[in-house]
Amino acid sequence: MALTNVALQRAIVSLILLAPPVWPQQKPADKPEEEPPPPAISVEVALVNILASVHDKHGGLIGNLTKDDFTVIEDGKQQTIKYFTRETDLPLTIGLLIDVSASQRNLLDIEKHAAHQFFSQVLRKKDEAFLISFGEDSELLQDYTNSPKLLQAGLSQLQVNSGVGGFGPGPVPTISQPRGTVLYDAVYLAANEKLRAEVGRKVIVLITDGIDEGSKLKIEEAIEAAQKSDVVIYSIDYADPSAYGPFSFGSVSDFALQRMSGETGGRVFKVDRRHTLDDAFKELQDEMRSQYSIAYTSSNLEQDGRFRKLVVKVADKNLKVQVRKGYYAVKPEKS
């Protein structure tokens, strides 16, 4: 049956009312367009790494302490220890620096043998070492290696390297004083150019009588380079009294060695008739294998390059902690 015009109009209106509305495509009014998120604030937070050795009142090493035994204080404020390892297996990088000035002439053969024995016993698979001699200048005799044979080959190259006073060309020019032992320059070179970019435990071992003659840099600059590179300096005070003439009274001051080692968390081993070079290396080996590795994030996030003083204590007041005196709050270098 055909629909009348009126009925047809009513049917069309009904269909329109029943159909779902079709709106222009647009974003809902109740959800405004999202703004891009603000840029993330990136803060480079560097861990402060500390190597500590603990001795009893007789000088014996204490290797059974726990994280809870230690308190770390930076510029007078206690810090929260984030990482702690006992008798750490962190890679060990050793820079052996040997004095080859004229005053050490009679000691070089002994040093070659003792150093070879030391490397053979102390180096593990992940460890590396390099060898530098220093007299009137510094020379890299063996670069990074894990091979005691290569290090022995480097040690075999040790020979006296001593200049004369006055004007003259050379890596460390001097006037009216002998260019004999550029000790501070050698420490700076090893810390800043060889060890700064390394990770893990980093150690400089010095074999010297502690006399510097002709270094371009001062002892303060050598210490600062070691501190900025997280390097511990161990000094083996080895002197030949006959090399200093009749007015030396058979001894040489170890003030410089005590200062460099003390400021960086190491110590000085004295070689004499009762304490041989082999003994010193054995004690050094024991100490490096009995260290505590401590790391924390400073509560002071300002990386202003300033020096911050560190004090590390243990609960037992009869024990002595051997640790560096502080660090420089510098921004970590980007790799």
Q: What is the pLDDT of residue 30?
A: 54
Q: Which of 141, 147, 143 is nearest to 111 (CA)?
A: 141
Mean pLDDT of 182-199: 96
pLDDT 10s digits, 74-130: 999 999 999 999 876 788 999 999 999 998 999 999 999 999 999 999 999 899 999
Model confidence at 17: pLDDT above 80: no
Give 254 or 313, the one with higher predicted confidence: 313
Model confidence at 43: pLDDT above 50: no
Q: Which of 180, 122, 185, 173 is nearest to 151 (CA)?
A: 122
| Residue recorded with tokens 């005799």 | 141
Boundaries of every domain in the chain = 47-87+293-328, 92-289
pLDDT 10s digits, 212-233: 998 999 999 999 999 999 999 9
C-alpha–C-alpha distance, residues 325 and 74, integer Å: 10
* Cβ contact 270:254 at 8 Å: yes
Mean pLDDT of 16-35: 49
Give 321 or 22, the one with higher predicted confidence: 321
Q: What is the share, in percent, of the chain residues with pLDDT greater than 70?
A: 77
The angle formed by the CA atoms of residues 189, 122 and 281, to the nearest 5 degrees, is 75
Tokens in use for 117?
Answer: 């024995």
Q: Per-residue confidence at 334, pLDDT binned at 50, 70, 90?
A: low
Q: Which residues pair with 308 in a beta bridge?
A: 327
Tokens in use for 302?
Answer: 């300002």
* Cβ contact 158:111 at 8 Å: yes
* Cβ contact 133:178 at 8 Å: no
Q: What is the pLDDT of residue 91?
A: 87
Mean pLDDT of 186-190: 98
Model confidence at 249: pLDDT above 50: no
Residue 105: its H or E element: none
Q: What is the pLDDT of residue 331?
A: 76
Residue 14: its H or E element: helix 5-18
CA 9 to the chain's CA centroid: 92
Instruction: Report which DSSP code applies to 249.
Output: T
Give 41 or 133, the one with higher predicted confidence: 133
Quickly name the fold that domain 92-289 has: Rossmann fold (3.40.50)
Average pLDDT, the chain: 84
Kindly report which listed range (170-174, 194-198, 241-245, 328-332) carries the lowest average pLDDT score: 170-174
Give the SS3 label for residue 214.
Answer: coil
Kindly report which listed range (45-49, 75-79, 147-151, 260-264) carries the lowest average pLDDT score: 45-49
- CB atoms closer than 10 angstroms to residue 330: 12
Model confidence at 21: pLDDT above 90: no
